[in-house]
Amino acid sequence: MPFIHCLIASNRKRAPTNQKKKKQGAPNSMESKNYSIKADKVVLDEENKESITTTTDRCYFSELPWHVTLEILLKLPIEALIRCRYVCKSWRDLLLDPSFAKLHHGITPTGVVLQSSLFPHGNSGGLYLLEPQEQGPTSIIAKLNHFTYLESTLVNSCNGLICSCDIRMANPIYISNPITGDYLTLPNGETKPDGQFVSGFGFSPKTKQYKVVKYSDFVEIYTLGSGGWRRIEHVPPARHRSLFGTFVDGALHWLVKLPNGSLLIRSFDLENEQFRAIPLPSSRVYYASFKRSNLGIFGDCLSLSSIGMYASDWDIEIWVMKEYGVKESWTKQLVIKSPSPWEHWWNPESVQVICFLKNGEVILDCVGCPVIYNIAQESFRLLNPNGILLTHVKATAHASSFVSLKDIAMGDGSRVLINLDHV
């Protein structure tokens, strides 16, 4: 792979020119004074971490086979990879190579992004990337303080890219990658919607295009790289449960209430740019209360949570569509009982599934308070990174990636800027 060879060639340029100064019996355990390779981690020597780019000692890392180098980097946690970007130019070029970005994103576990204008206990607002742990506290990977996150609302995340906008004016809209630091400001739409509008951001696997959708009494679509908005008229009327669409299987989804009072899930396919009705589960609870139902993501599937009109003790049923678009595939995945005693942050009418973790836990959004629910133990715990109690925040599932906005927006005419502030 060319980008691996680039890394090796760059490191070899730092190899010693005077071999006589090298001590005899150099270790063969792939260790140097600056770092060592142990299992699946690269361990930096804190005392000499600044000398890694200027050392005259032999660089054993550069002599590893390319596939070994690749395996090591792919196994590093995202927090370590962020730091590796600043080691040297060749490492940065490696991590920003489209081939590496594709491989890395395919194995990246789902995390969470949280946004708030102000956190308690003197912590400034902004966007926080979180990595939930199976045991112990949740860690903050990075914090971004750029104005795009302080003056806008988080819409959703797709393939490591985050969409945010000013929900009062519908403009401006920002697309950003918090890992690479790239962000793009989209041009304003040609028209301003009358009344409520909803929006969403997603990716079409077939066309390989990223699209932003604004939806009110008409639809406006912006394809990244196109340079302008397109308008679609004659949109079916409906009242929407949430402002932001849930992205699953190449389509954005909203739970809507039709003029006749019936409920359904309306999807917007990002490939053919057409609306479609997604059937609800064959259960009376989902035809009972529009205000008590929410769409979410469970694994890679569309999910629906509701307490319904007839549910006892405010239990929440989580339904998952196992096969997209097939009504018969709706499966009652689990039932979440309200915590006892009743917690101040608990409101079953507004619980939304953010994501399902591989360790068997589910992250829920309880009216702006992120909560982790352990399915096996039927227990709750607050998502409190670094001991911070989070309230009044917007949360969404997010899988970090090194996808480059510069490559996606090529030919757009828009300027991709860089601004990243890590914790």
pLDDT digits (tens, 9 = 90+) for 219-236: 899 999 888 899 988 888
pLDDT at 213: 92
Give 49 or 200, the one with higher predicted confidence.
200
> What mean pLDDT is predicted for residues 189-207?
79
pLDDT at 113: 84
Indicate whether 416 pLDDT > 70.
Answer: no
Task: Answer whether the bond into residue 279 is a cis peptide, omega within 30°.
Answer: no
320, 334 Cβ separation under 8 angstroms: no
Per DSSP (E only), the strands in 81-204 are 111-118, 124-131, 139-144, 153-158, 161-165, 173-177, 182-186, 198-204
pLDDT at 132: 60
pLDDT at 145: 56
pLDDT, tens digit, for every residue of 96-132? 788 888 888 877 877 788 876 544 444 445 677 776 6
Give 38 or 182, the one with higher predicted confidence.
182
Indicate whether 385 pLDDT > 70.
Answer: no
Which domains, from first to last, does the chain contain? 2-18+30-105 (no CATH), 111-418 (2.120.10.80)
pLDDT, tens digit, for every residue of 66-87? 777 778 888 888 778 877 777 7
pLDDT at 24: 42
Mean pLDDT for all residues in the chain: 73
Indicate whether 51 pLDDT > 80.
Answer: no
Parallel, antiparallel, or unpaired: how do β-strands 330-336 and 41-44 relate? Answer: unpaired
pLDDT, tens digit, for every residue of 316-332? 888 999 999 998 999 99
pLDDT at 108: 80
Q: Which of 15-19, 158-162, 355-359 has the highest mean pLDDT?
A: 158-162
pLDDT at 8: 38
Written as six digits, the tokens of 74 are 């792919």
pLDDT at 56: 47
pLDDT at 161: 92
Percentage, residues of the chain above pLDDT 90: 13
pLDDT at 117: 55
Lowest mean pLDDT of 12-21, 246-255, 306-315, name the range: 12-21
Indicate whether 290 pLDDT > 60.
Answer: no
pTM score: 0.77
> What mean pLDDT is predicted for residues 165-178?
76
> What mean pLDDT is predicted for residues 176-189?
83
71, 368 Cβ separation under 8 angstroms: no
315, 295 Cβ separation under 8 angstroms: no
Q: Is 369 helix (H, G, I), strand (E, B) or coil?
A: strand
pLDDT at 224: 92
